[in-house]
Amino acid sequence: MVKLPSVARRMRGTVEAVSNANSMETVVCSKCGQRFAIRYDVTSLNVELAKKQVSFVTEQLVWDHIQERKHHGTIELPNV
Protein backbone atom coordinates (compact mmCIF):
# COMPACT_ATOMS: atom_id res chain seq x y z
CA MET A 1 0.00 0.00 0.00
CA VAL A 2 1.46 3.35 -1.10
CA LYS A 3 0.95 6.26 1.25
CA LEU A 4 0.26 9.54 -0.52
CA PRO A 5 2.08 12.62 0.73
CA SER A 6 0.16 14.77 3.19
CA VAL A 7 -0.82 18.22 2.00
CA ALA A 8 -2.45 21.35 3.35
CA ARG A 9 -5.04 22.77 0.95
CA ARG A 10 -6.21 26.34 0.73
CA MET A 11 -9.85 26.65 1.77
CA ARG A 12 -12.19 28.66 -0.41
CA GLY A 13 -15.58 29.96 0.70
CA THR A 14 -16.89 29.80 4.22
CA VAL A 15 -17.23 26.11 5.10
CA GLU A 16 -16.05 23.04 3.22
CA ALA A 17 -17.59 19.62 3.62
CA VAL A 18 -15.56 17.21 5.71
CA SER A 19 -16.21 13.49 5.65
CA ASN A 20 -16.66 11.68 8.96
CA ALA A 21 -13.56 9.59 8.22
CA ASN A 22 -11.31 12.64 8.47
CA SER A 23 -10.31 14.95 11.26
CA MET A 24 -9.28 18.43 10.19
CA GLU A 25 -6.97 21.13 11.47
CA THR A 26 -7.28 24.66 10.07
CA VAL A 27 -4.28 27.00 9.88
CA VAL A 28 -4.98 30.71 9.33
CA CYS A 29 -2.35 33.08 7.96
CA SER A 30 -1.84 35.87 10.48
CA LYS A 31 -0.96 38.38 7.74
CA CYS A 32 -3.73 37.91 5.16
CA GLY A 33 -6.28 35.58 6.76
CA GLN A 34 -6.16 32.82 4.14
CA ARG A 35 -7.09 29.45 5.62
CA PHE A 36 -5.50 26.07 4.95
CA ALA A 37 -6.98 22.71 5.91
CA ILE A 38 -4.89 19.73 6.98
CA ARG A 39 -6.93 16.52 6.95
CA TYR A 40 -6.01 13.42 8.91
CA ASP A 41 -7.21 9.85 8.78
CA VAL A 42 -8.64 9.29 12.28
CA THR A 43 -7.41 5.68 12.32
CA SER A 44 -3.78 6.73 12.01
CA LEU A 45 -3.76 10.13 13.74
CA ASN A 46 -0.39 10.94 15.29
CA VAL A 47 -0.75 13.98 17.57
CA GLU A 48 2.96 14.88 17.53
CA LEU A 49 3.11 14.72 13.73
CA ALA A 50 -0.06 16.84 13.50
CA LYS A 51 1.50 19.54 15.70
CA LYS A 52 4.68 19.55 13.60
CA GLN A 53 2.68 19.84 10.39
CA VAL A 54 0.63 22.77 11.73
CA SER A 55 3.85 24.49 12.76
CA PHE A 56 5.38 23.81 9.34
CA VAL A 57 2.39 25.34 7.50
CA THR A 58 2.44 28.39 9.78
CA GLU A 59 6.15 28.93 9.05
CA GLN A 60 5.57 28.53 5.30
CA LEU A 61 2.81 31.16 5.36
CA VAL A 62 5.07 33.63 7.18
CA TRP A 63 7.92 32.87 4.77
CA ASP A 64 5.65 33.53 1.76
CA HIS A 65 4.98 37.05 3.06
CA ILE A 66 8.67 37.67 3.79
CA GLN A 67 9.47 36.64 0.20
CA GLU A 68 6.50 38.74 -1.05
CA ARG A 69 4.92 35.85 -2.95
CA LYS A 70 1.42 34.42 -3.03
CA HIS A 71 0.52 31.34 -1.03
CA HIS A 72 0.38 28.13 -3.04
CA GLY A 73 -2.97 26.32 -3.29
CA THR A 74 -1.41 23.24 -1.70
CA ILE A 75 1.55 22.86 0.61
CA GLU A 76 3.25 19.45 0.81
CA LEU A 77 3.79 18.48 4.44
CA PRO A 78 6.77 16.68 5.95
CA ASN A 79 6.12 13.14 7.21
CA VAL A 80 8.84 13.28 9.86
Q: What is the mean pLDDT of the chain?
A: 83
Amino acid at 79: N
pLDDT of residue 2: 47
For 74, the 3-state DSSP assignment is strand
Residue type, 20: N
Per residue in 33-56, pLDDT (tens digit) is 999 999 877 677 788 888 999 999
Q: Nearest Cα to 49, choosing from 79, 8, 25? A: 79
Q: The pTM is what? A: 0.80
Gap between the Cα atoms of 74 and 8, Å rounded: 5
